[in-house]
Amino acid sequence: MKPLILLLAMIFAAPAAMAQSYRAGMADLEIADPGGQRDLAGLIWYPTEATGPVSLDFDSMVWVGTEVVRDAAPAPGRFPMVVLSHGMYGNALNQAWLAGALARRGFVVAAIDHPGTSTWSRDPDQSRQLWERPKDISRLIDYAVTDPQMSARIDPARIYMAGHSLGGFTAVALAGGRYDAAKLNAFCADIPGELVCGILDGWNIAKTPEDRAAMQADLSDPRIRAFAVFDLGGTQSFSTESLGRIDRPMLIFGAPVMNSGLTLDIESRALVGALPPGKQRYIEPETLAHFDFLGQCKPGGLELLAREEPGDEVICVGGGKPRAAKHQMIIDEVATFFAQP
């Protein structure tokens, strides 16, 4: 009977598996600011049944690209949506490896460059307005649910978010974490030279009453159903009370290979300890590093960065095949977590 049972299982499972097998379409994304102060640019990945022409999402001497079908017709139907937030001085392509994989599994994925804290936009005044980062994501969702073409392809009841590093900070703010300037100041006074403290101080975060009020406001977005947080920084800036009230599911990755300056005990592990039990999943693979959430590096990428951008080569340490295997694990965990009822 076992072979028959196995055959029946395969027959009944086949339609569901085929229904989730797509290619990744990709298109440019632009969201204008009516005030002209904070236009957003990025990319959208989505399921498509088009078979070609296949190209890479970007061509680089450092990074391995992901196969996409540029500007392909979207597959019919509505799909869950994942919005991505990159880390400090990153960009919308940082998690292209995740976006393309999720699109092939039946998700629409959108990512934008955050003005002031992205690769190509480091204006100090925009960096200081760190409260705009969560608002960027809310504006992205506003666009997704109102644009005629995009709204026809997403299920507004199934919107999710993933963020890396400073993008993880952004995700926690959107989940309901409230910035607490007094708590952070006291924490930083006790740990001179702490990485996040130095960054936020250098950006002049919450230095005036007006900025403090903007940072400490409720920046949550109830439309986001669940979150994935990748080795975040800035946990100590959130009030303990607000973290304890977060009631939406959260998948948290901690990276114990600490090559970024972040410390797990005061970041990911502290976040897990502050959240209410029952709706969180914490994963801390022993070989996972902060920069494993960036793309896979090509052979020679590390050496090229060491020559051209000394110090930046750390982002490609272990960034070849070992990172590709970690990516697959992360993809599986995120897709499974966001597929929960």
Strand pairing report for 23-31 and 40-48: antiparallel
Phi-psi region of 176 (alpha: psi -120 to 50; beta: other; left: phi over 0): left
pLDDT score of 36 = 86
Q: What are phi and psi of 187, to 5 degrees?
A: -60, -45
CB 71 within 8 A of CB 60: no
Summarize the confidence of residues 133-161 as an average pLDDT. 97
Closest CA to 153 of 80, 58, 95: 80
- In degrees, rounded to 5, the angle at the alpha carbon of residue 284 between the alpha carbons of residues 280 and 286 is 170
Instruction: Examine the pLDDT at 180 and tell me if it is beyond 90.
Output: yes
Q: How far apart are CA 319 and CA 281, in angstroms?
A: 25
- Count CB neighbours of 16 within 10 A: 8
CB 49 within 8 A of CB 23: yes
pLDDT in tens, 97-111: 999 999 999 999 999
Instruction: Examine the pLDDT at 22 and tell me if it is beyond 60.
Output: yes
Q: Which neighbouring-strand residues pair with 258? A: none
pLDDT score of 19 = 41
Instruction: Examine the pLDDT at 160 and tell me if it is beyond 60.
Output: yes
pTM for the predicted model, two decimal places: 0.92
CB 92 within 8 A of CB 164: no
pLDDT score of 212 = 98
pLDDT score of 35 = 86
pLDDT in tens, 283-318: 999 999 999 999 999 999 999 999 999 999 999 999
- Residue whose entry in the numeric block shows the structure tokens 């303990």: 240
Average pLDDT of the residues of the chain: 93
Phi-psi region of 116 (alpha: psi -120 to 50; beta: other; left: phi over 0): left
Instruction: Report residue 20's pLDDT band, with 50, 70 and 90 as the boundaries.
Output: low
- Count CB neighbours of 65 within 10 A: 18
Instruction: Examine the pLDDT at 7 and tell me if it is beyond 70.
Output: no
- Please state the separation of Cα 131 from the chain's center in Å: 17
Instruction: Report residue 341's pLDDT band, with 50, 70 and 90 as the boundaries.
Output: confident
Q: Quick one: what percent of the chain has pLDDT higher than 90?
A: 90
Summarize the confidence of residues 58-63 as an average pLDDT. 92
pLDDT score of 161 = 98
Summarize the confidence of residues 87-93 as an average pLDDT. 96
Q: How far apart are CA 182 and CA 165, in angstroms?
A: 22
Instruction: Report residue 12's pLDDT band, with 50, 70 and 90 as the boundaries.
Output: very low
Q: How far apart are CA 243 and CA 240, in angstroms?
A: 5
- Residue whose entry in the numeric block shows the structure tokens 């090509």: 298
The 10 Å CB-count burial string (b at 16+, else e) for 105-132 is bbbbbbbbbbbbbbeebeeeebbbbbbb
Summarize the confidence of residues 20-43 as an average pLDDT. 93
Q: What are phi and psi of 74, to 5 degrees?
A: -65, 150
Summarize the confidence of residues 250-261 as an average pLDDT. 94
pLDDT score of 17 = 33
Instruction: Examine the pLDDT at 6 and tell me if it is beyond 80.
Output: no
Q: How far apart are CA 339 and CA 341, in angstroms?
A: 6
Summarize the confidence of residues 143-151 as an average pLDDT. 96
Residue 94, CA atoms < 13 Å, CB-side half-sphere = 30
pLDDT score of 319 = 96
